[in-house]
Amino acid sequence: MKQSERAFRSFPSAPSSPGSFAGIPYYVRIARGSALAMRESEFVQAARAAGAPTWWILARHVLPNALSPLVWRRLWTSAL
């Protein structure tokens, strides 16, 4: 087997239907809403007041709290 054939086989297969991407805007909307809500929370404002850089606030405060509704929604829709 040639190297190019092995490389091709290592890639995951494409989705079976284009409809599998139809739910992506829904999850993006949930993530954006959660991130905007976190932006106004007290712990983010306290981190800003303490002088934390923006990337730190995003990585440590906003991202983990914005992902939890996505995980919950994905598990909920998978169960149904």
Which pair of structure tokens corresponds to residue 76? 């909920």
pLDDT at 44: 92
pLDDT in tens, 5-28: 555 555 555 555 565 677 788 888
Q: Are 73 and 37 in contact (CB under 8 A)?
A: no
Which pair of structure tokens corresponds to residue 46? 């306290």
**More confidently predicted of 23 and 30:** 30
pLDDT at 74: 82
pLDDT in tens, 42-64: 999 999 999 999 999 999 988 88
